[in-house]
Amino acid sequence: MKISIVWMATGLSALWLSTGQAETVVVVNPGAAVPTKDQITDVYLGKDQSMAPFDLPESAAIRADFYKKATGRDLAQVKATWSRLMFSGKAQPPKEVADAAAVKKAIAADPKAIGYIDKSAVDSSVKVALTLD
Amino acid sequence: MKCNFKSVALATALVFSASQASAATQLGEYVTFSGFGTLGLTQTSDDRVQFARDRQIPGATNSIDYNVDSNLGAQLTAAPTKWLSGTVQMLAMHRNVANISTEIEWAFVKAEPIKGLSIRAGRMALPMFAISDFRNVGYANTWVRPPDEVYGLALLRRLEGADATYRLPIGSTSLSLSVLGGKSSFYSSTTNLLTHLDKVKGANLQWESDWVTVRVGRVKGIVDLSASTTGLKEDPYTFSGIGAMVDHNNIVAQAEYVTRRSENNPTRIDANGWYVLGGYRFNAVLPYVSYASTRPVDSTPIFHYSGKQTTLAAGVRWDAFKSAAIKFQIQRVDAHDTTGLSFVLQGTTVGRTTTYVPVTSPVNVASLNLDFVF
């Protein structure tokens, strides 16, 4: 009985830690040069077009978290920024893919690709360029 | 036509703001479809004059009008390689002819032969202002519509030609220089003439940091007057502007100053305009105020292309949906006993002389807009 309570407490705190400390990481192709934080900001705001950025769906909480930490802007501001670039023919917004697995697949296939995923999803197919917290 | 447009705009707005559609849809591997639009309602306090944007006819009066700001744009971009792309943008809106018309705003091919350099050829917006190329995209802007005192002065809009832009990163900021050349034209609903401009050339310099953008630019062209009754063959035209935009710590600010000059017809053409806008972002809600002013350089012309006008406006942008924003704006437009700039000209012609009726009292205008992207 005592043991099960301890286990439950451990389980709960593990759960608490995993949700409370979810870390977003920016990932690139293992063979690519690591971009600076400024460059990552510029890529995701359309100023730097030397990389191919990927987005996760708007329904994923990680997207808002990533933009807030990487660019200091909320999703509505980011969308207004991209609509300026898009409807003046200057740049196309990041391609949207379904989940972390799709981000990793796209990055493995393209040395210029860049994306963001939860730290727990990192594996050898990608390289961590920046940890956002 | 008007009804069709309205229902299409409304249906699109509802579908796209209700769904969680993101901006831009991939069509296959190389083609992206995206669109934008505004459903705008405008009402003024005065039924004696018609309030319009960019010389539209007719304009809004004291019954609710859908035509001032409503528009619907669709854009296709094909990028078969990383350095080559093609863009076509169609835009339906109320222009300076008496009904809604759909025109090709953009049709250009863009090449990026080396990093930082982009070359475009085809049809595009003439970069006369800080936001020339997305002035019709309500969602991309803070205000309900660009201040006519500045954006209504240009006369010309499009370039048929080519431009080249080089972007040079300087630390965490960047400097972009762009040059352009080609042809342009403008249609005047007052004279019912389409006037052509040859030898259009221009240059723009823009410096951009994380939170501030400063832009200075000039466009020149030779107006072909051979079809006009002025007796002049041509007229060199120059439009210059300087502007700055700030978005920092939730403070939003924007200001521009422009001048319009003609070599052979200065008493009718020469004018200056400026505006300032300031706002503060409280999460999804952004209240703002703006003041805009224009005046002809020669204050006593018989007829001027634009009169004296000032506008004080207050409004709020609310990012209520994921891909749509609601805006409300009230403004007081004062034409100072001239024909102003934002009012449909009312003239009476006796012999060869047309006399235009001045706007003698300030007009209040209220606007409620839904801007969306898809």
Show the domain range for A32: 22-132
For residue B24, the chain A residues in CB contact (below 8 A) are 86, 92-93
Tens of pLDDT along A18-34? 455 579 999 999 999 99
Mutate to test the interface with B, among A36, A38, A87, A92 (most CBs of B within 10 A): A87
Give the number of A-B residue pairs with CB atoms closer than 8 Å. Answer: 74
- pLDDT computed for residue B301 by the predictor: 61
Q: What is the 3-state secondary structure of B119-131?
A: EEEEEEECCCCCC
The verdict on residue A13 lying in a domain is no
| DSSP for chain A, written as a single string | -HHHHHHHHHHHHHHHHHHHT--EEEEE-TTSPPPPHHHHHHHHTTS--SSEEEE--TTSHHHHHHHHHHHS--HHHHHHHHHHHHTTTS--PPEE-SSHHHHHHHHHH-TTEEEEEEGGG--TTSEEEEEE-
The verdict on residue A105 lying in a domain is yes
Q: Does B24 touch chain A (CB under 8 A)?
A: yes
Q: For chain A, which residues score pLDDT lower than 70?
A: 1-21
Cβ contact (<8 Å) for B26 and A95?
yes
- pLDDT computed for residue B17 by the predictor: 47
Q: ipTM of the predicted structure?
A: 0.84
Sign of CA dihedral A64, A69, A70, A76: positive
The verdict on residue A5 lying in a domain is no
3-state secondary structure of B296: strand
| Closest residue to A76, CB basis, from B110, B137, B284 | B284
Q: For chain B, which residues score pLDDT lower than 50?
A: 1-4, 17-21
Q: Which two tokens stand for residue B3?
A: 């009804």
pTM attached to this predicted model: 0.88
Residues B129 and B259: their CA atoms lie apart, in Å, by 11
Q: List the single residue in A with minimal CA-CA distance to B174.
A: A47
The verdict on residue A27 lying in a domain is yes
- Other CB atoms within a 10 A radius of the CB of residue B7 amount to 10
Nearest to B202 by CA among B126, B311, B88: B126
The verdict on residue A10 lying in a domain is no
| Closest residue to B22, CB basis, from A58, A76, A92 | A58
- pLDDT computed for residue A6 by the predictor: 54
Mutate to test the interface with B, among A86, A90, A96, A112 (most CBs of B within 10 A): A86
What are the phi and psi torsion angles at B51 (to 5°)? -90, 130
The verdict on residue A104 lying in a domain is yes
* B67, B2 Cβ separation under 8 angstroms: yes
Q: Does B108 touch chain A (CB under 8 A)?
A: yes
3-state secondary structure of B255: strand
The verdict on residue A115 lying in a domain is yes
When divided into structural domains, chain A yields a total of 1
3-state secondary structure of B291: strand
- pLDDT computed for residue A2 by the predictor: 53
Residues A27 and A108: their CA atoms lie apart, in Å, by 10
Q: What is the domain-level CATH number for residue A103? A: 3.40.190.10
- Strand partners of residue A27: A115, A128
Q: Does A37 touch chain B (CB under 8 A)?
A: no
The verdict on residue A12 lying in a domain is no
* Angle B244-B316-B334 from CA coordinates, rounded to 5°: 75
Q: Does B93 touch chain A (CB under 8 A)?
A: no
- pLDDT computed for residue B25 by the predictor: 83
Strands B212-224 and B234-248: antiparallel
- pLDDT computed for residue B18 by the predictor: 44
Strands B324-334 and B309-318: antiparallel
Q: Does B283 touch chain A (CB under 8 A)?
A: yes
* A32, A51 Cβ separation under 8 angstroms: no
| Closest residue to B73, CB basis, from A47, A50, A87 | A87
Q: In which region does residue B351 sit, left (phi positive, over 0), alpha (psi from -120 to 50) or beta (all else)?
A: left
Q: Which two tokens stand for residue A110?
A: 């393209």
For residue B125, the chain A residues in CB contact (below 8 A) are 88
- pLDDT computed for residue B72 by the predictor: 96
